[in-house]
């Protein structure tokens, strides 16, 4: 409880400081009262959802997510505003001291705030504030189809032009608009890819989260099948289970749901895609992640039944596995498909110009196609969302990868 009291005090102090910008920018009292009322409502809802709210343990429910999203938007607005106020206040204090010490004034008196700086601070703060609200309202379902064409010298001839649709990080427990999700599923089917590969995090925590969506995702179609692996959230590690048995049952239920959807779940296993006499090996590992994430993936076990000379596609949820393990393995994996990062659901991407997200501070390979040691990886930005219930600049992604034989 102490941490919530401390947080509430900090939030209120920051809010009162930011209020000074409003008082300088406008003389209408109702604007101040509205700002105070909304700020307190956001704070009250946030504290309630994360203390006495309905969701038990560490489960991040939809009400918790939206409480967090609104808090993030308002707190960001306040912090950016006070950056301008603070810089001006430093100047005001220095100016007042100078006039006092030089005898220009008999008393220490701060100059009035300048309306221009307050308006500028409020205007700049409104940009991320509006973007975060837009991301919650529209951005989280702004689905993008990203097409990639990758060339390989040793691609089997029959697979020249082979199309792969990669999905990742559905996080069904966060989804809340069936029509939008149905649009995404139809968008996947419109690609008419040869195979669909899903790289983990079907749910946030509980297998039951998928119940309202199972029938919809079972309509995903690909002529050569649908294959999947588990992500870190699929194991139920972020729930305070009453018994270990209930946690194991949750995972078994999730495996059954994947089967009902039509996914061939690979648990440190491999499969072959066959076209005539040519074949491509699919290798699927369980989650392996750096920095405290579950390390159930076993690359050697997963590849035990394939030939070292096969053309290989690896499904591994966390791109840190590729960076730390796959690139240094004796076996050459031509293409690895990952997800996990979500691109932090926030950033700026202008193809050919800018590609930035806070995700790059944690992951070297955080979104899109990378090539190292003659091996490719695609880090899918994810179809769903988690934590902050929105996306800004890093939109939900459907990856379509075309394999080409290099001339």
HSE, side-chain direction, 13 A CA sphere, residue 60: 22
Q: What does 351-388 look like in DSSP terms, one character per residue?
A: TTTEEE-GGGGT-SS-SEEEEETTEEEEE---SS--SS
Beta strand 226-228 pairing with 144-152: unpaired
Residue 246's pLDDT band, with cuts at 50, 70 and 90, is: very high
Residue 253's pLDDT band, with cuts at 50, 70 and 90, is: very high
Q: Is the predicted pLDDT of residue 383 greater than 90, yes or no?
A: yes
CA distance 384 to 70: 19
Per-residue pLDDT of 173-201, as tens digits, reads 999 999 999 999 999 999 999 999 999 99
Rg of the chain in Å (alpha carbons): 26
HSE, side-chain direction, 13 A CA sphere, residue 276: 6
Per-residue pLDDT of 275-328, as tens digits, reads 999 999 999 999 999 988 999 999 999 999 999 899 999 999 999 999 999 999
pLDDT of residue 22: 85
144-148, 241-245, 321-325: which range is least confident on average? 241-245
Residue 129's pLDDT band, with cuts at 50, 70 and 90, is: very high
Residue 185 corresponds to which tokens in the numbers above?
């599923």
Most confident of 47-56, 118-127, 252-261: 252-261
Q: Is the predicted pLDDT of residue 361 greater than 70, yes or no?
A: yes
Q: Is the predicted pLDDT of residue 55 greater than 70, yes or no?
A: no
Residue 54's pLDDT band, with cuts at 50, 70 and 90, is: low
Per-residue pLDDT of 59-77, as tens digits, reads 677 888 999 999 999 999 9
Q: Is the predicted pLDDT of residue 168 greater than 90, yes or no?
A: yes
pLDDT of residue 228: 98
Q: Are 42 and 71 in contact (CB under 8 A)?
A: yes
Tell me whether residue 334 is exposed, middle or buried, using C-beta atoms within 10 angstroms of its C-beta: 0 to 12, 13 to 18, 19 or more: buried
pLDDT of residue 217: 98
pLDDT of residue 59: 66
| Mean pLDDT of the region 129-133 | 96
User: Which domains does the chain carry?
Assistant: 2-137 (no CATH), 143-405 (3.60.21.10)
Higher pLDDT, 134 or 8: 134
3-17, 48-62, 88-102: which range is least confident on average? 88-102
Residue 363's pLDDT band, with cuts at 50, 70 and 90, is: very high
Higher pLDDT, 8 or 144: 144
Q: Is the predicted pLDDT of residue 109 greater than 80, yes or no?
A: no
pLDDT of residue 2: 75
The one-character DSSP state at 239 is S
Higher pLDDT, 53 or 358: 358
Q: Are 382 and 171 in contact (CB under 8 A)?
A: yes
Higher pLDDT, 389 or 32: 389
Query: Percent of the chain beyond pLDDT 90?
Result: 74
| Mean pLDDT of the region 161-171 | 98
Instruction: State the pTM of this model.
Output: 0.90
Largest CA distance in the chain: 95
Query: Across all residues in the chain, what is the average pLDDT?
Result: 91
Higher pLDDT, 60 or 98: 60
pLDDT of residue 5: 85
| Mean pLDDT of the region 146-170 | 97
CA distance 319 to 331: 17
Tell me whether residue 189 is exposed, middle or buried, using C-beta atoms within 10 angstroms of its C-beta: 0 to 12, 13 to 18, 19 or more: middle
| Mean pLDDT of the region 242-267 | 96
Q: Is the predicted pLDDT of residue 57 greater than 60, yes or no?
A: no
Query: Percent of the chain beyond pLDDT 70?
Result: 92
């Amino acid at each position: 409880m102490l941490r919530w009291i401390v947080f509430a005090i900090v939030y209120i102090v920051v809010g009162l400081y930011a209020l000074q910008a409003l008082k300088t920018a406008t003389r209408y009292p109702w604007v101040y009262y509205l700002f105070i009322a909304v700020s307190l409502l956001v704070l009250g809802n946030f504290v309630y959802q994360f203390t006495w709210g309905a969701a038990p343990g560490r489960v991040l429910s939809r009400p918790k997510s939206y409480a967090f999203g609104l808090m993030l938007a308002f707190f960001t607005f306040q912090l950016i505003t006070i950056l301008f106020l603070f810089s001006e206040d430093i100047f005001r204090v220095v100016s007042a001291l100078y006039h006092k010490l030089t005898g220009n004034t008999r008393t220490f008196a701060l100059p009035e705030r300048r309306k221009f700086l307050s308006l500028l601070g409020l205007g700049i703060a409104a940009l991320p504030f509006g973007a975060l609200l837009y991301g919650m309202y529209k951005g989280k379902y702004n689905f993008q189809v990203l097409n990639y064409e990758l060339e390989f010298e040793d691609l089997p001839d029959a697979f020249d032009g082979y199309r792969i649709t990669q999905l990742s990080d559905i996080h069904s427990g966060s989804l809340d608009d069936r029509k939008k999700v149905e649009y995404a599923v139809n968008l996947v089917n419109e690609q008419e890819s040869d195979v669909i590969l899903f790289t983990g995090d079907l749910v946030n925590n509980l297998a039951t989260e998928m119940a309202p969506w199972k029938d919809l995702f079972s309509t995903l179609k690909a002529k050569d099948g649908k294959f999947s692996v588990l992500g870190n959230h699929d194991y139920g590690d972020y729930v305070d289970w009453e018994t270990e048995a209930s946690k194991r049952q949750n995972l078994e239920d999730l495996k059954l749901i994947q089967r009902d959807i039509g996914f061939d779940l690979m648990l440190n296993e491999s499969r072959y895609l066959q076209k005539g006499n040519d074949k491509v090996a699919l290798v699927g590992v369980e989650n392996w992640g750096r920095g405290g994430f579950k390390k159930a993936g076993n690359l050697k076990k997963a590849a035990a039944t394939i030939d070292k000379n096969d053309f290989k596609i690896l499904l591994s949820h966390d791109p840190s596995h590729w960076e730390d393990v796959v690139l240094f393995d004796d076996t050459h994996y031509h293409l690895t498909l990952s997800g996990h990062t979500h691109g932090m659901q926030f950033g700026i991407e202008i193809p050919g110009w800018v590609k930035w997200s806070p995700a790059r501070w944690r992951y070297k390979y955080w979104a899109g196609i990378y090539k190292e040691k003659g091996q490719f990886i695609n880090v899918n930005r994810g179809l769903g969302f988690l934590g902050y219930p929105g996306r800004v600049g890093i939109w939900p992604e459907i990856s379509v990868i075309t394999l080409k034989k290099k001339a």
